[in-house]
C-alpha cells in the first residue's frame, strides 16, 4: 500500500557487488509528525521473476519533512531488471 500523504520519485538505482540500491527523496505532504516511515520495493529479473526486496526505514519525520532514503537489497549475482514500490508506510505520533 502506498500512503497518499507522501510524494516520491526514484531517480537512482544501482548495483554494487551483491547489493542493489534505490535512492531518492520522499516528501510528506501533511502537517502530521511521523514516528516511523518505511519503503519497500519488490525487485524482478528480466523474466519478471521476483528475486528479492529492497527496503529502508526512518524513525522520525517532521511535518512536511523530506527523507533521503536508500533502500537496499542483497540479491547475490541475480540481474535486477526493475523494482516496483509496493509499500510506503507511515506511523503517526499519538501524543
Domains identified in the chain and CATH numbers: 6-92 (2.60.40)
Cα of 12 vs its chain's centroid, Å: 12
Is residue 70 a contact partner of residue 21, using CB atoms and an 8 Å limit? yes
Q: 89 is written with which cell numbers?
A: 508506510
> Residue 64's pLDDT is what?
93
Residues in the chain with pLDDT values less than 70: 1-3, 8-11, 93-95
> Residue 78's pLDDT is what?
86
Nearest to 60 by CA among 28, 27, 35: 35
> Residue 2's pLDDT is what?
62
Question: Whole-structure pTM over 0.85, yes or no?
Answer: no
d(CA 22, CA 69): 8
**3-class SS of residue 84:** strand
Amino acid at each position: 500500500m502506498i500512503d497518499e500523504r507522501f510524494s516520491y520519485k526514484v531517480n537512482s538505482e544501482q548495483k554494487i557487488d551483491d547489493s542493489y540500491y534505490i535512492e531518492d527523496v520522499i516528501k510528506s505532504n501533511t502537517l502530521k509528525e511521523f514516528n516511523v516511515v518505511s519503503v519497500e520495493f519488490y525487485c524482478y529479473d528480466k523474466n519478471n521473476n521476483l528475486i528479492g526486496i529492497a527496503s529502508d526505514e526512518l524513525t522520525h519525520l517532521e511535518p512536511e519533512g523530506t527523507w533521503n532514503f536508500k533502500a537496499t537489497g542483497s540479491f547475490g549475482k541475480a540481474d535486477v531488471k526493475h523494482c516496483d514500490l509496493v509499500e510506503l508506510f507511515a506511523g503517526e505520533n499519538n501524543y
